[in-house]
Amino acid sequence: MSNIRLHDKSFRPFIDYEKIEEAIDQVAIKINNDFNGSKDVPVLLCVLNGSILFTAELMKRLTFNCEIVCIKLSSYVGMQSTGEVRDIIGMTGSVRGKRVIVVEDIIDSGRTIANLIKMMEANGATETRICTMLFKPGCYKLDKKIDYVGMNIPDDFIVGFGLDYDGLGRNFKDIYVLDNNMKYYILFGPPGAGKGTQAASMAERFNLCHISTGDLLRGEMAKGSELGLKAKALIEGGNLVPDEIVEGMIENKFNTVEGVSGFLLDGFPRTIAQAEALDRMLAKKGEKVSGVVSLMIPDEMIKERIRHRAAIEGRADDASDETIANRIKTYHEKTEPLVEFYKKTGAYNEIDGIGTIEEVRDRISALMEKI
């Protein structure tokens, strides 16, 4: 078993099919002990879509006569429970006057189960028992005991063997768990702090995708993507590229880049509005900013380094005191509100940017190892 990727997320192996079969065998033994010799014909209520595979495997192992009725409910959108259980398609048959075994793929809080029990009572079932392939005891909120449990698992997001992430993953016979080690870093630093050099080192050492907004814009325009074409038209018309286009490009990068352990944002966010947009973007994925790394050097050193860089690159205009002072002023005005924003979240970290490239790199690496 190896990792699988569904939409924007990676999942690692968790429970192999052999263990799943063993668990189903044990559940079937218990149900057969309770229902063999029954004069009535119990109903298996298959809760769609997740329990299709479990119900099919379970039925093959049952040694008494039974019927099957299906019902489709949902309380999840993506990875987040809405907290509201909705009856999507109703039941495909009658349970009136019958004993019911509700067959679920997974039970966590128990909201769905509570609603199903009420539905069975309202529809005339004489008894309702609950059977689930997977159970999260740490999340369960009901007093009602689960009658038949395949396996207890921790509160992790899983896919496979009927379980999905936004429609994908149900077909895998094994079960996979979300590989939630994805990291999202932000790199701050004034002109001349060595962000470019350190970003390259950070990306290589920690297997990160380095996202520089300037490079990103140029790359999307060169590819001729929809967002790139919009940006190009705006720039050629003498207009600034609005936040939503830059944010769209970044989100697209988050959703399409594979084989990395995280992302390093350089040049974004620059404003509180962008920081809030980034938080919303990550929240949709069940993620958040892992850490902010701010390279700190004094203003006099900024001036010295900008002059040195301007001389090397032959950019005399950048070496003027007025230009340098304006760049420093702009940096402080844009960055300081963000510093306070991320200090409140506990994600903000400062790194002494004075020293050799290697010394600063070692400080950054030591910090990131702790994050």
pLDDT digits (tens, 9 = 90+) for 221-243: 888 888 788 878 877 776 767 88
Q: What angle do CA 51, 52, 55 make, to 5 degrees?
A: 75
pLDDT tens string 43-57: 999 999 999 999 999
Weakest-pLDDT range from 131-135, 270-274, 323-327, 363-367? 323-327
Give 87's pLDDT tier (boundaries 50, 70, 90).
Answer: low
Give 82's pLDDT tier (boundaries 50, 70, 90).
Answer: very low
Domains and CATH numbers, the chain: 4-178 (3.40.50.2020), 183-370 (3.40.50.300)
Kindly give the pairing relationship between strand 158-159 and strand 175-178: antiparallel
Torsion of CA 77, 79, 80, 82, to 10 degrees: 30
- Bridge partners of residue 45, in order along the sequence: 69, 102
211 phi/psi in degrees, rounded to 5: -110, 105
Q: What angle do CA 289, 293, 299 make, to 5 degrees?
A: 140
b/e map 86-121, b = 16+ CB within 10 Å: eeeeebeeebeebbbbbbbbbbbbbbbbebbbebbe
Determine the Cα–Cα distance for residues 158 and 322; give it in Å rounded to an integer.
57
Q: Is the model's pLDDT at 272 over the cut of 60?
A: yes
Which position has the higher pLDDT, 157 or 83?
157
Determine the Cα–Cα distance for residues 279 and 328; give it in Å rounded to an integer.
27
Please list, in sequence order, all residues whose beta carbon lies within 8 angstroms of the beta carbon of residue 224, skipping any fewer than 6 positions away. Answer: none
Percent of the chain whose predicted confidence (pLDDT) is above 70? 91
Q: Is the model's pLDDT at 301 over the cut of 90?
A: no
Determine the Cα–Cα distance for residues 102 and 293; give it in Å rounded to an integer.
51
Tokens in use for 73? 């409910």
Determine the Cα–Cα distance for residues 241 and 5; give it in Å rounded to an integer.
32
269: preceding bond cis by omega (within 30 degrees): yes
Tokens in use for 76? 């999840």
Q: Is the model's pLDDT at 313 over the cut of 80?
A: no
- Whether 94 contacts 126, CB under 8 Å: no
Determine the Cα–Cα distance for residues 2 and 21; give it in Å rounded to an integer.
20
Determine the Cα–Cα distance for residues 322 and 355; give it in Å rounded to an integer.
27
Q: What is the mean pLDDT of residues 163-177?
A: 94
pLDDT tens string 212-222: 887 888 888 88
Give the residue ranges of DSSP H helices in 175-242: 195-205, 213-223, 226-236
Kindly give the pairing relationship between strand 208-212 and strand 262-266: parallel
- Whether 58 contacts 44, CB under 8 Å: yes
